[in-house]
Structure 1
Amino acid sequence: MPHRPVAMFAMTAENVPRVFPAEALARLRELVDVDPALVAEDFGDPRVRARLARTEILITGWGCPVLDAAVLDAAPGLRAVLHAAGSVKGFGTPALWDRGVLVSSAAAANALPVAEYTLAMILLAGKDVFACRDRLREERAFPRGRVHPRAGNFRRRVGVVGASRVGRRLVELLAPFDLEVSLADPYVDEAGAAALGVPLLPLDALLVGSDVVTLHAPGTPETRHLLGRRELALMRDGSVLVNTARGSLVDHGALVRELRSGRIGAVLDVTDPEPLPADSPLFDLPNAVLTPHVAGSQGNEVARLGATVLSELERLLSGGGLEFRVEATDLARTA
């Protein structure tokens, strides 16, 4: 029987069967020696420590403890961390890369449902669905005339802020529609934007010219309050802000002032803080649509993350390169 590397799960135990349903788990156990009943939620657990000493591959996910130098000292044979979720910044430390451990992330797989959610919200906002729902609930009758003058997605201008994995996937999903899409990203040049099939604009110009502004930049010190009072004031009357990235990208005090004026609308899947305090005015503003950070993988979508890890594992064991390798230099520009 061929050698199977020793692997261990490092995530919240309840997530293992969600990320790796029965068929995926069976395939995983064909490839590596892994015990689904022993999950590292705490690297101080003696049973976990004993397993860690023999572990070559860590399969991580939501709830993974921090992989600092002390943990890595206890795992001298560790050669790869395959993350069945998005960002590795919550648990990955420089010691991982310093010791030459390969790191892979399923962030690309998690980007798809976020892009799908965003596409849905852009189209619904374009039809003014949320306001129509509220009016119908209040008046219990159709308005006079069946054509709503403010609604429609024909040649509506969509401004994408950030050519992240989600931003790029969203641009692809928007392509079949009669929408005019533009991009703002300081790390993308004209040729890069042309390769995506969209014009590149300065952020201010994008804000002034868009009917929908959708945020897909990372949450870093540099991007905190990327949209503050001045930037939000640039948005055109009747436009809508969609945020599925990080709540810190938006100055919520300034946003509340704009929303109270009735000038713009917002769809927020992420906020700052998260969750919002119960007395936040955003809950009651009719032109704010809030969802509880559900744009990313939910329900059966979570299994896509496990499938990505399986694919990466097969590449690793066959001697091929990881498709979704994360380098230390990527961390400063990712969420």
Structure 2
Amino acid sequence: MSSTPPRPRALFAMGRPHRDALFPRAAIDRLTRLVDIEPDLVAEDFDHVPHLAAVELLITSWGCRPLDDAVLARMPALKAVVHAAGSVKHHVTEACWERGLHVSTAAAANAEYTLAAILFANKRVLEIGGLYREHRDALDWAAHFPGFGNYRRTIGLVGASLVGRRVLELLRPHAFDILLADPHLDPEAARSMGARLVELDELLAVSDVVSLHAPALPETYHLLDARRLSLLRDGATLVNTGRGSLIDTAALTAEALSGRIHAVLDVTEPEVLPAASPLYALPNVLLTPHIAGSLGGELARITRSALDEVERYCAGREFAYPVNRAALTTSA
């Protein structure tokens, strides 16, 4: 007579408010069918956590403490980490890779904002909305914005991170010419994603919209400096949902003040910008307070992604959105 294999022991490791927001009753019900977990036990740190040595799977999110050597020594059975959020850089340490842990992320769930920003930018929605509010009648929009619209526009993505790749997927149904700049890809890999690999300077010079998805690394600090920002074509839109440090804020402010380019900025350096920054008031700049990621009702998508990964793990399958040591050093 066959017996059902034991379910892996799992543990929530995150801030308790995040557990409560991400895992409502229905999600808990699904999770407890997959793993052996105490739903009300949330490890905001790893002190005084019962049965820690038996934990095979960590379900993490915002607020998870770093999984360093000392923590991992107390979890000899740990094999995998499913992160119900984006970046894992805050808690997945070198010790995790030395252990050979399998790590998954829900970062790819955060891409809709970028798609909307691209579509609105080419349609000149913000500018037209402002003019319409002022005039309260229909103007000759084609005369004000020659060639505006999305058909056959050139979109440049900087960085093939998980979010960048998801943006590429979302762009496919639209008639865009898509360029990609990423020093860690080859042309064939870019083609498989539906993009043409080019150097960053070329991408900046020919794109109608440039969207940033590169990681924050010493070599990407102020990746878009004054020289590179000057390469943007007149009327181009720069979208940053990645990291504020990718752009030289002073240089961008100067370009935006000239009115030559547009910008949609969900992240800035610093974050938050000083109250006196001209970027708040410029009609060609949209500032939002780091809301591109999943928030509100969108948290359910992160939860579903994490639960799907837990189900794959329990079935002995590969993660759909794995993170590995090499990719982590070159992705956002």
In the superposition, the TM-score normalised over structure 2's length comes to 0.92
Question: Residue 53 of structure 1: SS of its match in structure 2?
Answer: helix
Q: Does 1:61 find its partner at 2:61?
A: yes
| Residues 19, 304 of structure 1: 8 Å contact kept | no
Q: Distance in 2 between matches of 1:330 and 1:155?
A: 32
Paired residues of 1:247 and 1:270 also in contact (CA < 8 A): yes
Give distance in 1, aligned partners of 2:103 and 2:217: 21
Question: Shift of residue 205 of structure 1?
Answer: 1.2
Which one of 129, 142, 147 corresponds to residue 142 of structure 2? 147
Q: State the 1:54 CA deviation.
A: 3.1
Structure-1 residue corresponding to 2:94: 94
Q: Which runs of 5+ in 2 are unaligned?
A: none
Distance apart, 1:146 and its partner CA: 4.9
Q: Is the 8 A contact 1:8 1:39 kept in 2?
A: yes
Residue number among 43, 46, 50 corresponding to 1:43 in the alignment: 46
> Paired residue for 1:288?
285
Match for residue 131 of structure 1?
127
* Cα 1:41/1:155, change in 2 over 3 Å: same
Distance (Å, rounded) in 2 between the aligned partners of 1:221 and 1:182: 24
Please point out which of 239, 244, 247 is paired with 1:242: 239
Amino acid at match of 2:6: H
Runs of 4+ in 1 over 4 A off after TM superposition: none
Contact 2:224 2:247 in 1 (8 A): yes
Per the TM alignment, residue 267 of structure 1 is displaced from its structure 2 partner at its CA by 0.3
Instruction: Indicate the percent of aligned positions where both proteins have the same amino acid.
Output: 53
Counterpart in the other structure of 1:24: 27
Aligned CA distance change for structure 1 residues 177 and 229 (closer, same or farther; 3 Å): same
CA contact (8 A) 1:184 1:202 kept: yes
Question: Normalized against structure 1, the TM-score is what?
Answer: 0.91
Provide Cα deviations, 1:178-229, integer angstroms capped at 9, x if missing partner: 3222222212222222222332221111111111111111221111111100
What is the correspondence of 1:192-207 to structure 2 with a 5 Å cutoff?
Answer: 192-207=189-204
Distance in 1, Cα, partners of 2:318 & 2:172: 31
Shift of 1:241: 0.5
- Provide the aligned C-alpha RMSD in A: 1.9
Letter in 1 for 2:279: L
- Please tell me the residue identity of whatever aligns with 1:59: I
* Equivalence for 2:105: 105
From 183, 186, 202, the equivalent of 2:183 is 186
2:318 is aligned, of 292, 317, 321, to 321
CA contact 2:225–2:251 (8 Å) conserved in 1: yes
